[in-house]
Structure 1
Amino acid sequence: MTSSPSPMVVFDLDGTLVDTAPDLAAALNFVLNREGLSTVSLPTARSMIGAGVRRMIERGLEHEDHPATADDVTRMMADFIDYYTAHIADESRPFEGLIEALDDLAVRGYRFAVCTNKLEALAKQLLDQLGLSPRFAAICGGDTFGVSKPDPAILLQTIARAGGRPESAIMVGDAGPDIGVARRASIPVIGVGFGYTEVPIAELKPDRVVAHMRELPEAVLALHASAMT
């Protein structure tokens, strides 16, 4: 007989595990300024995060009513990534209560993975610099499998790479792509109320909403208990 896999919690990164908005906003403003455009405020930049670098730049250009070709955006992406790579953890920090929540769940036998639309190399660099990488069995980005959220393949393949199974996994995220990928993969999902979304997380109808990371262990345990009944 083979033992069943450990239960798994799969996290989005930006706006869920780590408050990355200050450094992402700085990178966005760097490329906008190079185009002769105004900077965007941090609150505005927060609402542009979550669909990858290209989409964040496109949203920044739309905010400034500045037309750009696909080649323009590609060029700006390269500048964005160069700048962001050099400043990836200047101000980015784990959300309050994250470490304690992970410790609590780890003691209970849970394993963890990251499923983000961020480029995999950038996700790993950020988590390395914050000392968080060893906590995750897999760190997968929008370029890891050739698909991004809300395509369910990215979540299912992240779980597989981390050694888990969909039936014992829970997704945690802060925005529409996270709720969408979980629903499409038939995996329970917890929404965090402190992330980056233009639509209030409760309106996206996750199975649970937590307002602080201290609430996460109880929410995970409750979801798993309900799935077993």
Structure 2
Amino acid sequence: MDRFRTCRAVVFDLDGTLADTVGDIADALNRTLSDFDLPPHPEDAVRGMVGNGLAKLLERGFSRHGVVLDETTRERACRRLLEHYAGRPCERARLYPGARAMLDALGAARIDCAVLTNKHEPIARDVIHGLGIAGSIKAVRGADVGFARKPDPAGLLDLVRTLGARPETTLMVGDSETDLKTARAGGLRGAVLVSHGYSAIPVAELGADAVINHLHELVAGLALAPEAD
């Protein structure tokens, strides 16, 4: 982790990295399935379906019931899923242990933080506000603001510019291979993966620069003042 001590900006993934958001996502998916007269999935099952955005979640959720959606039905179902999720984006979401103290420590050290997500940006902003960390996040980029989804690095590099940083002094923290690929494609200083996220592949096998089991390990890695939840 010593190599990250020159970093002056950190870009975080949201779902599975800063917060466990599966409860609200599962509720939105199951309400959508109900709209189409299909039974709900257990939350643990939905946990294994998340990743790469709501459209992919919808596809996985329907396919588990043996349903392949035609284009018209898929568009209608996507609208319903988005409406359900946007209506209740942060009723059950919870920050992971150490997240708030870690963000406070980065802010005190004048290290700017941003969020890059494949979630729709208005929903991401609502979740960030609902979690009470909006004051620690300087910028947010979602999947619906003109940039291709991760792992395309365009949104990431736009965030780096917005923060007034440079790729070589910016760190990305995520929970998946997609986040790792995004950081590599953007030429960032490094990529750290958390072990508590939603990755179907054990993150230790993905080749990140570091894997952490608790978000506060990032504070030590950046040589910041130690505080913890």
SS of equivalent residue, structure 1 residue 99 = helix
Q: Which residues of structure 1 form unaligned runs of 5+?
A: 223-229
Match runs of 1:80-229 below 5 Å: 80-187=81-188, 188-221=190-223
Q: Which residues of structure 2 form unaligned runs of 5+?
A: 1-5, 225-229
Structure 2 counterpart of 1:210, which letter? I
* Range with greater deviation from structure 2 (18-27 or 130-139): 130-139
State the aligned residue count.
Answer: 218
Which residue is 1:19 aligned to? 20
CA contact (8 A) 2:9 2:113 kept: yes
TM-score by length of 1: 0.90
Q: Distance in 2 between matches of 1:81 and 1:18?
A: 19
CA contact (8 A) 1:210 1:219 kept: no
Q: C-alpha displacement at 1:62, in angstroms?
A: 1.8
CA contact (8 A) 1:23 1:91 kept: yes
Q: CA RMSD in A?
A: 1.7
CA contact (8 A) 1:46 1:197 kept: no
Q: Distance in 1 between matches of 2:223 and 2:216?
A: 13
Which residue is 2:3 aligned to? none
Match runs of 1:18-97 below 5 Å: 18-97=19-98
CA contact (8 A) 2:152 2:182 kept: yes
Taking a change above 3 Å as real, the CA distance of residues 109 and 139 of structure 1, as seen in their structure-2 partners, is same
Q: C-alpha displacement at 1:6, in angstroms?
A: 7.6
Q: Distance in 2 between matches of 1:16 and 1:108?
A: 21
Q: C-alpha displacement at 1:220, in angstroms?
A: 4.0
Cα deviation code 1:14-45 (max 9, x no counterpart): 11111100000110111112222222121221
CA contact (8 A) 1:190 1:219 kept: no
Q: Distance in 1 between matches of 2:108 and 2:207?
A: 29
Q: Distance in 1 between matches of 2:73 and 2:160?
A: 35
Structure 2 counterpart of 1:189, which letter? A
TM-score by length of 2: 0.90
